[in-house]
């Protein structure tokens, strides 16, 4: 272990951050996304998928 600069995983994280051109996700966007996920058809869809799998087996 060499002690020159930040640890490897931190250096990698910074490099990835620099390379990615995607803008940071705003809290408002994150909130609306969470809201959309909680109110969407996601739950019924997974329930339907599970029952289909049970029928198939």
The rounded distance, in Å, linking the Cα atoms of 4 and 13 is 17
**pLDDT tier at 50, thresholds 50, 70, 90:** confident
pLDDT 10s digits, 14-38: 777 777 666 677 888 888 888 877 7
Q: What is the mean pLDDT of residues 1-21?
A: 72
Q: What value, to the nearest 5°, has the Cα angle with vertex 16 and ends 14 and 17?
A: 65
**Which residue is associated with the tokens 């996700």?**
25
Q: Is the pTM of this model over 0.75?
A: no
């Amino acid at each position: 272990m060499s002690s020159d600069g930040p640890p490897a995983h931190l250096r990698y994280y910074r490099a990835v951050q620099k390379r990615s051109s995607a803008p940071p996700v705003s809290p408002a966007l994150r909130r609306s996304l969470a809201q959309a996920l909680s109110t969407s058809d996601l739950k019924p869809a997974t329930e339907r998928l599970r029952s289909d799998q049970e029928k198939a087996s």
